[in-house]
């Protein structure tokens, strides 16, 4: 079960986060597109209760502030470090999913000194990454505005269900919790900004150099049936980062924390306990 939501004001906006105030290993969990901190609920319940488990909503997502302007992953990495400082953490383990993994790479490029261990899950992190078709549609002028206004609930159901093997885990309650941050006019505008986050060849241009510089213990978790992230991207990570471990979850797709929470929790616990 997730702890009660708290807020702190970063230099870029108000950030929603949870903290179970455990006295053990501090772990920050970062979600991706188009989810929220609630993505991690099924996993948190299966991790050691004594660990300090922290989740947060990226700005423009979930309960965090809708900032009404475009942002980039480097700014999101800066906000993550403000959260780290706010929580009084000198070192922590960082677990990131999807677009959160992209932000994690930028974080490692600037703030690696604060990361003890790194977990990248379903990670789009190379300039040749190809955006999913549904994202390409929303990038089109006028069509994107119409889609997020008229069929927003359907966009969530289709996009997330396509990225899950165990579709029964995508319950109405889960969908409501994740999509709720995009309700209303401000939420629709935030969703549009989120889906138009930038083009990989530009946004990820310096990632290969950052990835090659990573020296902390790193673990990559990938669903074997992920329709969005090709296996070649994660094997490249494994072969580039010294000592990097890679595991495939055979019956998992893209949204692994919802799709296969038991396996995800088991893999995270084993890696962070080493």
Q: Which tokens in the block code for residue 174? A: 């889960």
Tell how strand 14-19 and strand 52-56 pair up.
antiparallel
Say what the pLDDT of residue 141 is.
83
CA distance 163 to 223: 9
CA distance 71 to 175: 25
CA distance 267 to 250: 13
Domain coordinates of the chain in residue numbers?
6-273
Say what the pLDDT of residue 1 is.
64
CA distance 35 to 259: 13
Say what the pLDDT of residue 114 is.
98
Q: What is the pLDDT of residues 95-146, one digit of tens each?
A: 999 999 999 999 999 999 999 999 999 999 999 998 888 788 778 888 878 8
Say what the pLDDT of residue 264 is.
98
Mean pLDDT, consecutive 10-residue stretches, the chain (274 aa), reads: 90 97 97 96 96 98 93 96 98 98 98 98 96 81 80 84 95 91 91 87 96 98 96 97 98 98 98 96
Say what the pLDDT of residue 229 is.
96
Q: What is the pLDDT of residues 80-100, one digit of tens each?
A: 999 999 999 999 999 999 999
Torsion of CA 222, 234, 224, 243, to 10 degrees: -70
| Helical segments of the chain, H only | 41-44, 73-86, 99-111, 133-139, 143-150, 152-162, 172-179, 184-195, 200-203, 207-213, 231-240, 256-259, 261-273
Q: Which fold has domain 6-273?
A: Rossmann fold (3.40.50)
3-class DSSP state of 115? strand
- DSSP code for 4: P
Cβ partners under 8 Å of residue 45, min gap 6: 1, 265
Q: Which tokens in the block code for residue 253? A: 């797709």
């Amino acid at each position: 079960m997730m702890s009660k939501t708290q807020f702190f004001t970063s230099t870029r906006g108000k950030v929603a986060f949870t903290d179970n105030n455990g006295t053990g290993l501090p772990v920050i969990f970062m979600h991706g597109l188009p989810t929220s901190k609630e993505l991690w609920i099924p996993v948190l319940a299966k991790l050691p209760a004594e660990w300090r488990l922290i989740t947060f909503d990226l700005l423009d997502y979930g309960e965090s502030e809708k900032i009404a302007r475009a942002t980039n992953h480097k700014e999101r990495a800066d906000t993550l470090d403000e959260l780290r400082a706010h929580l009084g953490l000198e070192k922590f383990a960082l677990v990131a999913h999807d677009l959160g993994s992209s932000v994690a790479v930028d974080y490692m490029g600037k703030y690696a000194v604060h990361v003890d261990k790194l977990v990248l899950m379903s990670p789009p992190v190379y300039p040749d990454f190809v955006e999913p078709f549904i994202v390409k549609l929303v990038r089109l002028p006028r069509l994107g505005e119409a889609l997020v206004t008229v069929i927003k609930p359907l966009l969530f159901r289709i996009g997330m269900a396509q990225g899950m093997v165990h579709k029964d885990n995508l319950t109405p309650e889960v969908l409501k919790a994740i999509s709720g941050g995009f309700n209303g006019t401000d939420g629709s505008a935030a969703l549009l900004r989120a889906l138009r986050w930038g083009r990989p060849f530009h946004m990820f241009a310096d990632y290969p150099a950052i990835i090659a510089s990573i020296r902390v213990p790193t673990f990559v978790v990938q669903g074997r049936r992920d329709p969005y992230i090709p296996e070649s991207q994660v094997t490249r990570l494994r072969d580039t980062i010294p000592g990097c471990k890679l595991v495939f979850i055979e019956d998992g797709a893209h949204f692994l924390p919802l799709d296969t929470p038991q396996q995800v929790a088991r893999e995270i616990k084993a890696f962070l306990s080493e």
